[in-house]
Structure 1
Amino acid sequence: MARLRDLAKLIRTKNAGPFLLTLDIMFPDRRTYDRVVASGVIKKESMARFFSVDESKVRLFNYEPANAIKVTVPRLVTSGDPADTDLFGGQQFGPLVNVEVPDLPAA
């Protein structure tokens, strides 16, 4: 079993406007991308739990041509609000790097 940080070439979060946060996970090749998608570790339900939002508010896109997964969720606090601890949304991905991804079954 590998961690997401070992498989992805990029994991980042950033603002998608003042009310939304976007997560990008990009993989070096199709095999790795397929492995993560097939594992189901990145899905609406798990992202809703991770970001503490309602699952119906999670938008998830698996984009095969770029070997990438994109997730958009509402920010819990509007960017720039006095209670906001991450103005640009760039630090929200941190704990995701340790998500464990199971190995693919042998062919």
Structure 2
Amino acid sequence: MPKLTDVCRHIRSKNAGPFWITVDLEFRDRAAYDAYAHSQALQPAAIAAVFGVDSALVQHHPVPDLLVLKVSYPRQRPQGGLLERDMHGGQQYVRLLDLEV
């Protein structure tokens, strides 16, 4: 099975406010988007398992015109909190790189 890094040309994560993280998955082409954007591995339950959050809170936003899938989930700790280790949310995407889709 291909990994997410095989089918996406760009993967990034960022803050979506102090309580949320958004991951942007930019697929290589229309064929990759059509084949993998709605994969079970990218559904809210699977994303929730990767990041250890409640699947009911994971948001899944396909943007077919841009060949992008945006996935948002709540941060485990608020941005800038005492135990928070990724102030800008820019390192969260790493957990998805080897995800098989």
Q: TM-score, normalised by structure 2?
A: 0.94
Alpha-carbon offset, residue 53 of structure 1: 0.9
Report the counterpart of residue 85 of structure 2 in structure 1: 85
- How far apart, in 2, do the equivalents of 1:18 and 1:93 lie? 17
- How far apart, in 1, do the equivalents of 2:80 and 2:38 lie? 37
Q: Which runs of 5+ in 2 are unaligned?
A: none
Report the counterpart of residue 55 of structure 2 in structure 1: 55
Matched, 1:14 2:11: no
Alpha-carbon offset, residue 28 of structure 1: 2.0
Report the counterpart of residue 76 of structure 1 in structure 2: 76
- How far apart, in 1, do the equivalents of 2:15 and 2:65 lie? 23
In the alignment of these two chains, the number of paired residues is 101
Report the counterpart of residue 36 of structure 2 in structure 1: 36
Share of identical aligned residues, percent?
37
Question: Aligned AA for 1:12?
Answer: R
SS at 1:53 equivalent: coil
Of the structure 1 ranges 29-38 and 44-53, higher mean CA displacement relative to structure 2 is found in 29-38
- How far apart, in 1, do the equivalents of 2:73 and 2:22 lie? 7
Report the counterpart of residue 105 of structure 1 in structure 2: none
Cα RMSD (Å):
1.0
Deviations along 1:55-87, one digit per CA (max 9) or x if unpaired, are 111110111111111011110000101101100
Alpha-carbon offset, residue 38 of structure 1: 4.5
Bigger Rg over Cα: 1
- How far apart, in 2, do the equivalents of 1:100 and 1:89 lie? 22
